[in-house]
Structure 1
Amino acid sequence: MNRLAIAVLLLSACHPPRDGTSRTAPPSADGVVAFETVRRVLQHPRCQNCHPAGDAPLQGDDSHVHTQNVQRGPEGRGMVGAECTTCHGLANPPNAYGPHVPPGNANGWHMPPPDTKLVFVGLSPRALCEQVRDPARNGRKDRAALRAHLEDPLVVWGWAPGRGRTPVSTPRDTFLAAWETWARAGAPCPD
């Protein structure tokens, strides 16, 4: 390649295109692949049941609307007199209690508050990715706060949901490794 061709290539790389578009590096392939693992977990019933589009939580492996007309409430903890903790205790009841008992959690059962619903149900991979990484739509969490949230007992519960509930199918360590890969790659979203 002659010097003039090299100079033209270098100059064109430094200036934006004339059509008004911008040049951006393609998303990291490793990060995009890792996000697919993250997405599968976030859209598993154990996660998406508390992240629905509406104000009624979902329940069961089929993600049906929660019975007893349960609603999100003003802080995501249910309505007055029907708070999540009215039925959901501090831990999963023993298996001897039988099927269909409300699961529990040490931090108290809850959903995201209504101003930041963080919907997982029905979103495309790209839309889910964009929402999760956007502090304006994810509860004002930066990447470090999002990672810390993954240690919340309610999140961890998804891998040990109690009798009659299918745990998240992706092993937790695989999920966390994928999350770290995605985050290190700059949290790229799929096309």
Structure 2
Amino acid sequence: MNPHRLAMLVMLVLLLSACRPPSDGASPTDARGADGVVAFETVRRVLQHPRCQNCHPAGDAPLQGDDSHVHTQNVQRGPEGRGMVGAECATCHGLANPPSAYGPHVPPGNANGWHMPPPDTKLVFVGLSPRALCEQVRDPARNGHKDAAALRVHLEDPLVVWGWTPGHGRAPVPTPRDTFLAAWERWMRAGAPCPD
């Protein structure tokens, strides 16, 4: 192999390895790992807020409201995460939040279509310890087959961004979005360490 190709291959490997957290993450006891664990606590608070966890329950019924109660109307995840035939999420959830004049209990909407993760990769946020949540989020086998770069892209999905502008009568995620994204980046740069 010529030296130029070898150098390009080495650069590609280094770039790709920098884009995904190591399988075991940084040690929570070293300075970089400790900073990453602190950053993950901000990430965890957002992921386990009702705006996020309501679509990431342990079961197949989404949750709703600031109290995360089981969705009424017997709504179910369905085979692709978009509801069951005849009761798809889009049946009630339109392409945008309705105007506040419609009242407080109108289903919110989203340009990308309302949905949950599919049943084979539920990515549960409800009831998990910080460590279990951390391990699941960074594990492609359990997070929808996403590496660190794909997870970061997912954070720009309109349904994720909706959590900060959920519409009339719903509490937004209290952590400012910029603060959340900065914490996410710090956690990833630290190697995505998980708390003990």
TM range (shorter): 0.7 to 0.9
Q: Give the root-mean-square deviation of aligned CA atoms.
A: 0.9
Task: Please say if 1:152 is aligned against 2:157.
Answer: yes
- Shift of the 25–36 alpha-carbon distance from structure 1 to 2, 3 Å rule, reads closer
1:93-112 equivalences in 2 (<5 Å): 93-112=98-117
- Where does residue 58 of structure 2 map in the other structure? 53
| Cα distance in structure 2, aligned partners of 1:37 and 1:26 | 18
Which residue identity is paired with 2:27?
A: P
Residues 85-105 of structure 1: per-residue CA shift (max 9 Å, x gap): 000000000001111000000
Find the structure with the greater CA-based Rg.
1
Q: Give secondary structure in 1 for the equivalent of 2:192.
A: coil
CA shift at 1:25, angstroms?
A: 6.2
Which residue type is aligned with residue 60 of structure 1? G
Q: Percent identity?
A: 92
Which residue is 2:91 aligned to?
86
Q: Deviations over 1:124-180 (max 9, x none)?
A: 000000000000000000000000000000000000000000000100000000000
What is the aligned counterpart of 1:164 among 152, 164, 169? 169
Structure 2: runs of 5 or more not aligned: 1-24
TM-score w.r.t. the length of structure 2 is 0.85
Q: For residues 110-189 of structure 1, what are the structure 2 equivalents within 5 Å? A: 110-189=115-194
User: Structure 2: which amino acid aligns with 1:75?
Assistant: E
TM-score (norm 1): 0.87
Query: What's the CA shift for 1:26?
Result: 2.6
Structure 1: tracts of 5 or more residues without a match: 1-23
What letter is aligned with 1:110?
H
CA distance in 1, matches of 2:77, 2:26: 40
| Structure with the larger RCO, 1 or 2 (CA within 8 Å, 6+ apart) | 2
